[in-house]
Amino acid sequence: MRLYSRVRLLLVLLSLAAALGLPLLTYAPNRLLTGQGIALLAWLQAGSGLRWLVLLPALPLLLAPWWRPGVLRERAVYLAALWLGAALWWLAGSEAMLRAGDEDALARVSFGGGFWLLQLLLLLQLAEALQVLAAGLPRRVLLLALAQLPLLLLLLSGRLDSLSLLREYHNNQDAFDDALLRHVQLVLFSVLPALLLGGALGVAAYRSARFARLLFPVLNVLQTIPSIALFGLLIGPLAWLGRQLPGLGIAGVGLAPALLALSLYALLPVVRGTLAGLQQVPPTVREAARGMGMTPWQIMLQVETPLALPVFLSGLRITTVQAVGLAAVAALIGAGGFGAIMFQGLSASALDQVLLGVLPVLLLALLVDVAFRLLISRLKGADDHA
């Protein structure tokens, strides 16, 4: 039998190791105690033979490394990964309903390491299949979103409500909503000033090489300071400023130092993106614009800015994704956001509460990344057709 894909073989071997060597779920008498692992094999052997039907979608994935490449193989892999992923979610929800009982029961069923690793490997299988099935990024994103529909239906139907993670969500729904709003505020109001200031500094660095030589060492030093240390450094000056200007509501801890620190961190990628975008504009294009009688401002607004926009947005994408992650650390100085839920879970040794804070941050970062990539792809497509 000929091996056609070593990547797929590696994914299959890792999936088998995760399924056979790691617990799929964990069961604990309450949220604070460490749970006992529930292996996939033990779950299959404990019930009727019908349980093995859950693994039927895995067959195309197991055969994929030796399957001749083509659209047929990728369609089979896409559907198999989709249904196996949904089957694992359904299995987890059903086992939680069986073991954890109603919502007042203390017993908890959580996801084990095998579950998360299998879901990650199935996503990689989907991504591999979409490289062949979908030519452009928008279509790949659409097919990837469609693959998540079974999970959405399971969530809406309440099939997963007995899982410990969902119980944590329902018990902390108000705090979760507040954290979502505050996290978005932290990202938005830190990236926006960095966008305005960084864009201006990037243009200035492009116009003056001397200014660029002075600017980038300062920004590099700011970027190398650990986030917690920067939050700490800002406490003293902002507390002093708050005492001098009591009416402005500035304090050494809370929202103000968090926004200032996140904005400072966001400056370097914005400035570099602006400078790189302007530098890649061909000199012949500027010469042609000057030859047409355009003023420097007209060249900047009508020629250089549109051509530099995709590279500039790439820098802004990195900045925003970075801000989504760093905003979680801002909870250490009382700024709120999902970091507050995460650190509360850590202090209480409640793993599912930690995940309740971590997973939305991960999802937000992915959504921001995909949105920017789609926008950049659309701009490049428009340029290609211009």
pTM higher than 0.75 for the full model? Answer: yes
pLDDT greater at residue 303 or residue 233: 303
Least Cα distance to 121 among 12, 223, 280 occurs for: 12
Dihedral sign of CA atoms 4, 9, 11, 12 in order: positive
Query: What is the Cα–Cα distance from 146 to 128, expressed in whole angstroms?
Result: 16
Quick check: 62 and 12 in contact, CB under 8 A?
yes
pLDDT, position 102: 64
Query: What is the Cα–Cα distance from 59 to 56, expressed in whole angstroms?
Result: 6
Contacts of 372 (CB under 8 A, 6+ apart): 313, 314, 316, 317, 320
Quick check: 72 and 4 in contact, CB under 8 A?
no
Residue 38 φ then ψ, to 5°: -115, 110
Lowest-confidence pick of 114-118, 188-192, 306-310: 306-310
Output the CA–CA distances (angstroms, integers) from residue 175 to 70, 167, 179, 315, 340, in the order listed: 48, 13, 6, 32, 9
Q: What is the DSSP string of 162-228?
A: TSHHHHHHHHTHHHHHHHHHHHHHHHHHHHHHHHHHHHHHHHHHHH-HHHHHHHHHHHHHHHHS-HH
Least Cα distance to 100 among 110, 86, 114, 90 occurs for: 110
Amino acid in position 234:
L
Query: What is the Cα–Cα distance from 11 to 141, expressed in whole angstroms?
Result: 21
Query: What is the Cα–Cα distance from 36 to 214, expressed in whole angstroms?
Result: 58
For Cα atoms 2, 8, 12, give the angle at the middle one, nearest 5 degrees: 105
Query: What is the Cα–Cα distance from 251 to 330, expressed in whole angstroms?
Result: 14
% of the chain exceeding 90 in pLDDT: 38
pLDDT, position 156: 92
Query: What is the Cα–Cα distance from 275 to 95, expressed in whole angstroms?
Result: 55
Could you report the per-residue pLDDT of 175-197, keeping only the tens digit for each?
A: 999 999 999 999 999 999 999 99
Amino acid in position 255:
L
Q: What is the DSSP string of 11-56?
A: HHHHHHHHHHHS-SEEEESSTTSPPEEE-HHHHHHHS-GGGGGGGT
Average pLDDT, the chain: 87
Could you report the per-residue pLDDT of 328-375, keeping only the tens digit for each?
A: 988 888 888 899 999 998 888 888 889 999 999 999 999 999 999 999
Q: What is the CA radius of gyration of the chain?
A: 26
Task: Taking residues 164-173, report their average pLDDT.
Answer: 89
Q: What is the DSSP string of 45-83?
A: HHS-GGGGGGGTTHHHHHHGGGSPPSHHHHHHHHHHHHH
Task: Taking residues 116-135, report their average pLDDT.
Answer: 91
Could you report the per-residue pLDDT of 10-35, keeping only the tens digit for each?
A: 999 999 999 999 999 998 887 767 77
How would residue 52 be classed by pLDDT, with cut points 50, 70 and 90? confident
Lowest-confidence pick of 41-45, 148-152, 371-375: 41-45
Query: What is the Cα–Cα distance from 243 to 107, expressed in whole angstroms?
Result: 50
Query: What is the Cα–Cα distance from 133 to 348, expressed in whole angstroms?
Result: 46
Task: Taking residues 273-292, report their average pLDDT.
Answer: 89
Token duo for residue 127:
């991504």
Query: What is the Cα–Cα distance from 312 to 211, expressed in whole angstroms?
Result: 20
Amino acid in position 43:
W
Output the CA–CA distances (angstroms, integers) from residue 208 to 205, 212, 345, in the order listed: 5, 6, 49
Task: Taking residues 228-251, report their average pLDDT.
Answer: 73
pLDDT, position 123: 92
pLDDT, position 300: 86
State the CB neighbour count (10 A cutoff) for residue 88.
Answer: 23
